[in-house]
Amino acid sequence: MIYTAIDTFYLTDEQLKNSPSRKDGIDEATETTLRIYGCDLIQESGILLRLPQAVMATGQVLFHRFYCKKSFARFNVKKVAASCVWLASKLEESTRKARQVIIVFHRMECRRENLPMEHLDLYSKKYVDLKTELSRTERHILKEMGFICHVEHPHKFISNYLATLETPPELRQEAWNLANDSLRTTLCVRFKSEVVACGVVYAAARRFQVPLPENPPWWKAFDAEKSGIDEVCRVLAHLYSLPKAGYIPVCKDGDFTFYNKSSETKSQSTPKDVPQSSPPADSDTSVSKGAMGEANNESGGKGALVKLNMDRRKDSKRSDDESKSMVPEGEARDESVPKSKSDRRMEASGETRRDRDRDGERDRDRDRKSRDRDRGRDSDKEREREELERDKLKDHSHRSRERAKDSGHSGHSDKSRHHSSRDRDYHGSSYSSREKDRSRHH
């Protein structure tokens, strides 16, 4: 039983030898090749998707962990590699869409298997099936991991170890490259990341012939054992001795592919029998043609065959012209030649398109009429409003004029009254002054 917890997914050599793939009849060499092939797919796809190295490392570790619990015969290596990349991009917070992952793996498969570069239609059934398989395989991975996907890489220990040992700077890049290559092997599920980091540092130092302190041993300061370091170096040396890994179809559920094989078969297949579109002629013409054909066969001359073909074409053209001239307008006659399924489908599709066009035109006419009615109603309402406003203005102006007239008459009458009272006062005053003068005179 495999104990799964945070960063404790480690197996022994016996458990690796009795893996589910071995139980399904897959030998060690095939399993190693498929593991390297899947990790190569993850690394290359991560570069094309412009993902950081941490995402690719996490995807490769998840890939090895999954196939420690499941067999290569049950789950296709391409499908699992794509799902590991998609899941690792989410875990490392550098998410990529499922569409991008599928397109990248489709292009890689075309390049690796020398297939013609073909655009993957995003609205095709093939793309929908690939997207469904991608999400389904991701759920399988999470289920087998128990949703515990914590991964600790040896890269973060390399810089500290080299700085502590005071090694030259060129040793750092070599150790980093060896750590990336170690992810193609099962070292990530056999040893802790500290042991792997010590192993790649030791291998890089041996390659550059840099001496490391041995009295006391330097690996004891980093909680590692000499046997583990030697095993890491041995596995890396065996990895570099292997040829380039290729795809081996071992899945029992059928060969999974990102490439659409139906388009390839359609392009390769060519029609062998070409149906004749010309209708058969009358019985008399057929009899004469049969006699002519027998004579030509007896003679065996090529010129006769050419003439026979020319006559057939002329007869077919004549029969077509006669059939066209004989069919009157407004009458439908049955065709003499039975139509093929493709012709019937074309006619049915043409009729449906015509019906759709007619329905569309009717809907457009209805919309136009309704718009015109609405516009007419709006215009009638506007006219009524304008007329009401004009009547109001007329009434207002008429009332203002009447008020002005009334005010003018009243002012004139007041003035006349004022003048008459003045005259009276004047006359009265003049009469009283005369009387006074008279009285004085008397």
Query: Does residue 66 fall inside a structural domain?
Result: yes
Other residues' Cβ atoms within 10 Å of the Cβ of residue 111: 11
Which residues 6+ apart lie within 8 Å of 145 measured at CB? 4, 62, 65, 66
Which residues 6+ apart lie within 8 Å of 106 measured at CB? 120, 130, 258, 259
Note the pLDDT of residue 351: 76
Which one of 146-150, 183-187, 285-289, 322-326 scores highest in mean pLDDT? 183-187
Q: What b-and-e string marks burial along 322-352, b requiring 16 or more CB atoms within 10 Å of the CB?
A: eeeeeeeeeeeeeeeeeeeeeeeeeeeeeee
172 vs 15, 159, 197, 441, CA distance in Å?
A: 34, 7, 11, 154
Q: Give the mean model confidence (pLDDT) for residues 287-309.
A: 48
Q: Counting Cβ atoms within 10 Å, is residue 364 exposed (0-12), middle (13-18) or buried (19+)?
A: exposed
Which residues 6+ apart lie within 8 Å of 57 measured at CB? 151, 153, 155, 180, 183
Query: Does residue 215 fall inside a structural domain?
Result: yes
Exposure on the CB side of residue 441, measured as CA atoms within 13 A: 6
Query: Does residue 145 fall inside a structural domain?
Result: yes
- Give the predicted TM-score (pTM) of the model: 0.59
CA gyration radius, the chain: 51
pLDDT at 336 over 70: no
Which one of 282-291, 321-330, 377-386 scores highest in mean pLDDT? 377-386
Summarised one tens digit per residue, pLDDT across range 11-51 is 888 888 899 999 999 999 999 999 999 999 999 999 999 99
Note the pLDDT of residue 319: 62
Note the pLDDT of residue 43: 96
Q: Give the mean model confidence (pLDDT) for residues 376-380.
A: 69
Structural domains in the chain (count): 1
Query: Does residue 153 fall inside a structural domain?
Result: yes
CATH code assigned at 139: 1.10.472.10
* Structural domain range at position 197: 13-241
Note the pLDDT of residue 355: 80
End-to-end CA distance of the chain, in Å?
165
- Cα–Cα dist 187/196, whole Å: 7
Note the pLDDT of residue 106: 93
Of 434 and 171, which is predicted with more confidence? 171
Q: Is the peptide bond before 216 cis (omega within 30 degrees of 0)?
A: yes
pLDDT-based confidence at 273, cuts 50/70/90? very low
Summarised one tens digit per residue, pLDDT across range 342-357 is 666 677 777 777 888 8
Note the pLDDT of residue 295: 36
Other residues' Cβ atoms within 10 Å of the Cβ of residue 22: 14
Note the pLDDT of residue 36: 96
Least confident of 42-46, 82-86, 179-183, 255-259: 255-259
Averaged confidence pLDDT in the chain:
78
3-state helix/strand/coil string of 227-253? HHHHHHHHHHHHHHHCCCCCCCCCCCC
Query: Does residue 382 fall inside a structural domain?
Result: no
- Cα–Cα dist 182/35, whole Å: 12
Least confident of 9-18, 23-32, 387-396, 419-428: 419-428
Amino acid at 313: R
Tell me the percentage of the chain whose pLDDT exceeds 70: 69
241 vs 33, 168, 235, 236, 245, CA distance in Å?
A: 12, 27, 10, 9, 12
Q: List the one residue out of 63, 74, 68, 65 whose CA is nearest residue 25.
A: 74
Query: Does residue 98 fall inside a structural domain?
Result: yes
Question: Cα torsion at 302, 303, 305, 308 (round to 10°)?
Answer: 180
Query: Does residue 357 fall inside a structural domain?
Result: no
Query: Does residue 228 fall inside a structural domain?
Result: yes
Summarised one tens digit per residue, pLDDT across range 189-233 is 999 999 999 999 999 999 999 998 888 889 988 889 999 999 999
pLDDT-based confidence at 382, cuts 50/70/90? confident
Q: Give the mean model confidence (pLDDT) for residues 334-348.
A: 57
Note the pLDDT of residue 29: 94
